[in-house]
Chain A
Amino acid sequence: MIRTPLRFHTPADAEEAVGLLAEHRERASVIGGGTVIVPLMSRGERAIDHIVDLTKLRLDRIELIDDRVVLGARVTYRQIIDSAICRRHVPLLLDMAAGITGGAQLRNQATLAGSACHANPASDAPAVLVALDARMRLEGPAGERELAADDFFLDAFTSTLSTDELLTSISLSCGSEGFGYHKLKHCTGSWPIVTAAAVRHDGGRCTVTIGGARATPLHLVEVGDRSLDDAVAAGLAQPWSDELASGEYRRAVVGAVVRRALAAIRQPLR
């Protein structure tokens, strides 16, 4: 049960939203689909007094702008799955969205940007965003700033987003020649344990971004069979552990997950 009396704000524009966040700081939260924040509040694990809803800011569109796919912060997994733009230009994202656990109810409500802001290591979004060279557009008191997804995820459940900032949109690169995604989990209801998003670029160069294996995504460039194991070992000095799997387990399976993602690489439908 949510213990605190809540004030529900629907600011008219980003400036007003930032103003609310700046005023209430950690006692306020932006709400997207609410699929993370509401259960946290219900269980008493997060106490806030102000909900900032971004409906009036729109932010619910998927557009192709200058060779990048731009998703507003309120875009749901369902919109991604149904989007012709995503299907054509970032099929990796579509693959990921279709595999999100929770069924239609969750996919209709939960947002990609919300998942990014939650920054749970055991989730699909962070590594896929890094794999797609995502750029995160933030709005704060000093105006807009944009940064790479790789710089956005700082630690487990921690992003660079400060308490007076909000994520307004995410733009993705769509230049890949092929992609493969593999997600390892215990069973349907499980969080992802380790994910790997493989992307083949012009000239056959491959990158792999590993999720779930450490606090933040591990992005590997120029992967070949030999270099892979070394790079993984170097990158996973401190593997992620949670209720479902130890770091030791994650380290043991990550090679297989990466190889499966690479083996799954296929051409995007153009």
Chain B
Amino acid sequence: MTSQAAPDASPPRRVRRKQGDLVLTGRGGYLDDIELPGTLHATVVRSTEASADLLEVDLEAARRAPGVRWAMDGHELAEHVPALVPLVDPSRFGLRSSPTPVLAVDRIRYEGEPIAVVVADTLAQAEAAADTVQVTYSRRPAVLDAETALADDAALLFPEWKTNAIGEIPFSDGDPDARYAQAPHVLEGEMSIQRYNAAPLETRGYLASWGADERLTLYASTQNPHPLRTQLAEMFKLPPTQIHVIATRMGGGFGHKFAGFPEEVLVCVLSRLVGAPVKWIETRAESMLVGGREYLHRFSVAFDDQGRILALRDRILGDIGALGTSAGWGMVYVAGMTFPGPYLVADYDVQAVPVVTNKPPWNGAIGYGKESASLVLERMVDMIAHALGIDPVDVRLTNFIPADAFPYFTKSKRLDSGDYAAALRAVLELGDYTGLRHRQAIAQDDDALLGVGVALELCPEGSDSPGVLLRGYDTSTVRIDPMGSVAVLTGVTSPGTGNETGIAQVVAAELGLDVEQVSVWQGDTDISPYGYGNFSSRGMNVGGGAAVLAARELKTKLRAAAAGMLQADPESLVFHGGRIRPGDGDGIAFADVVRAIYDYSIALPALGDPQLEATRTYHPPNLLHIPDEAGRTSSYPTFPYSAHLALVEVDRDTGVVRVLEYSCVHDCGVIINQNFVDGQLLGSIALGIGGALWEALPYTPDGHLTARTFKHQLLPRAPDLPPIRLGHQVTPSPFTVLGTKGAGESGVAGAIAVMSCAVNDALKPLGIHAHTMPLSPPNVLRALQEAGR
């Protein structure tokens, strides 16, 4: 299927954000700004042990503390609700899984595991009471990294599994063994990536309230209001219509707010018991318990004298922490699936192994595993260049999937469209690659270590996984009221990116209206069609795509009615400037046609039937879940990509890395609003640089997290980032309604990879590499010390 006819007028590309002034001036309102009358406040008592038997939870003092309305442990809670309903259950993929209680009952598997909950009149009272809870543990051995967890004698988190691996997920094609046997060159390497997470400015939060009619209302800072409603309906054994989930304006999601957390259920249970609204807001320290991204890669690559990759292997251990009930573990799957990235490699063997350990569970973290694959692939390519003494750019150009090969099928994805070489060449031009190499050479004379990095990131988007609560399709309704204004109700939500403005733009463009005439309604399960919220940069593709299809349905109807009113040929009519016009004629106002249908349809048969509401469910067609005759599948429909170029300086005495120059050329297919695409891309690059250089959630050998504040987990601030030059290249998706591929996530992986490539380029003259992430001063200095400086 190819994209359908373009709307009569191209959408304006720099429309300002709807309600942007409210957000910018702090008047937008977030979850914690909602205070229902009589709201009580909950706090969670968490395990201080990483691995233990839970012997006793003494809540006596807490129950007597001032203001406390209820305090309960896991035993009491289990009388009200069963185990958590997973959002993305590994068992649906044939992998190991186990039920997770809302509050721990007898076994503690990580520091921070919820043990009890206290609700009081004020948060201060709840926290003071929680401090009095006495917990008795009997310590058990803990496993704190994936490799140790896979040792024969490792303590098991779930003894019934007989291993700590959720499974081994293969992504292989061709005959790598044969290629390796004949390859002129083989290189091996190992890279480790630290545990860190997404750090939304607004942490998670939930506010539950039961009406007199026994109907539950849950305000939630969540990415997936409808799936959350499904989970709650299953747990409370209620029809979903008895539950109203309202996803409030979100101050960042990044995967951190995928549904499937114990606190979502706790506030609902407590609110019902105490008969008052109950709120819980995640503290910053609690948000740092949620992990992500900790991988160990052991890889090799076989190549010829020209630098052409003949085959590659990678075994990826993902340390996913204890088993979670959200979507975190899936990042290991995607890390494997992303191979071999933008490169034409027919023979490869990649094994992705999610491993449970005694750390808190992962949730999603922007990049979602793709950043891990990108990092390793880009380093592989640089290592080839280094070994052969050729330019890393040339090795990439040699190995890219050529522009005329699309759509290009690999074993686990069908790449939609692209021109990787053109993007790379464009970024070299934008960032003056030759000039950067020159600066590097001059600096070498002064004994300074400058490094130039290039990287190309492939970013699969729009994930669809049959069998789980999170699907890739979505639904939008377009409704026109008698005054001619348009409401779009959609199942996709905005994590704060502004996709509501983009959706309004494409619907307005279809109907020839101003963006102001289109409102978008999201996140309210009583209002919006059932949908999956925000993840995988899919808002415009599926929410916007569905809305456009629905708008087109209404447009056909309006065209016929207008043709009747104007006595014109329907095919000659264009929708533009709020009017429906025959060719160069003045035509009739859009609102007048709508009003005529409301007021005179049926009476005047030429106006057609009065239905001015259409709903469409849309999934991008580029998905293949049942393997084809060649055993190929594709669980992602679109594949944005970006090329990155950076110059860094490494301080040889201290290991400090400074980013001096940064350029990026990005291709997300058709751009609906460049303001948003640029904003997302700049944010993603900042996230990538931060994760490559500083961010970390380290654990002590006995399983205690050492980062509790942003003074421990270091995020980049403005002075840490250079001015970032952006360029865009547009190769429309031949599959999606709008030709879009998705923007939001892409850029993170490329930024991480290009930092690693640039730093290692700087270290190259010393004959060393730094493959332990992050490239923080201590880690870089350790590498420098190995070189004897």
Q: Spell out A's residues near B (CB within 8 Å).
A: 1-4, 39, 43-44, 184, 186-191, 193, 243-246, 249, 252-253, 255-257
Contact = CB atoms under 8 A, between A and B. Distances in A.
15 contacts: A2-B124, A3-B125, A4-B124, A4-B128, A39-B709, A184-B656, A184-B777, A186-B714, A187-B716, A189-B715, A243-B698, A253-B781, A255-B653, A256-B653, A256-B654
A46 B777 CA distance: 31
B437 interface: no
B128 A186 contact: no
B715 A246 contact: no
B777 A249 contact: yes
Given A3-B124, A189-B714, A43 B694 contact: no
Contacts of A39: 709
A39, A253, A256, most chain B CB atoms within 10 A: A253
Contacts of B777: 184, 186, 193, 245, 249, 253
Contacts of B653: 253, 255-256
Given A44-B127, A246-B778, A189 B656 contact: no
Given A3-B128, A44-B127, A188-B720, A249 B781 contact: yes
B708 interface: yes
Contacts of A253: 653-655, 777, 781
A243 B693 CA distance: 16
Given A243-B706, A256-B653, A256-B654, A190 B714 contact: yes
A194 B172 CA distance: 48
Contacts of A3: 124-125, 127-128, 131
A100 B706 CA distance: 23
A191 B694 CA distance: 13
The 6 closest A-B pairs by CB, nearest first: A256-B653, A3-B128, A188-B717, A243-B712, A1-B123, A249-B778
B707 interface: yes
Contacts of A257: 654
A106 B266 CA distance: 37
B37 interface: no
A132 B417 CA distance: 65
A252 B781 contact: yes
Contacts of B693: 187
Interface string B115-135: 000000011110110010000
B711 interface: yes
Contacts of B717: 187-189
B710 A189 contact: yes
A191 B717 CA distance: 13
Contact of A184 (B283, B654, B712, B714): B654
Contact of B656 (A2, A4, A186): A186
A4 to B, nearest CB: 7
A184 B717 CA distance: 16
B285 interface: yes
A190 B654 CA distance: 15
Interface string B694-737: 10001000000011111110111111100000000000000000
Q: Interface size class for chain B?
A: 35 or more
Nearest to B653: A256
Interface in B771-786: 776-778, 781, 785
A73 to B, nearest CB: 24
Interface string B629-661: 000000000000000000000000111100000
A252 B698 CA distance: 21
A44 B131 CA distance: 9
Contacts of B656: 184, 186
B707 A243 contact: yes
Contacts of A188: 716-720
Contacts of A256: 653-654
A151 B78 CA distance: 58
Nearest to B784: A252
B279 to A, nearest CB: 12
Contacts of A1: 122-124, 127
A11 B698 CA distance: 44
Given A189-B714, A189-B717, A252-B781, 8 more contacts: A1-B124, A4-B124, A186-B694, A188-B716, A188-B718, A189-B720, A243-B707, A256-B654
A252 B131 contact: no
Nearest to A39: B709
B123 A244 contact: no
Nearest to B776: A186
B712 A244 contact: yes
A43 B706 contact: no
Contacts of A190: 694, 711, 714
A191 B781 contact: no
Given A249-B781, A256-B654, A189 B711 contact: yes
B719 to A, nearest CB: 5
B494 to A, nearest CB: 28
Contacts of B131: 3, 44
A256 to B, nearest CB: 4
Contact of A187 (B122, B707, B709, B714): B714
Contacts of B707: 243
Contacts of A255: 653
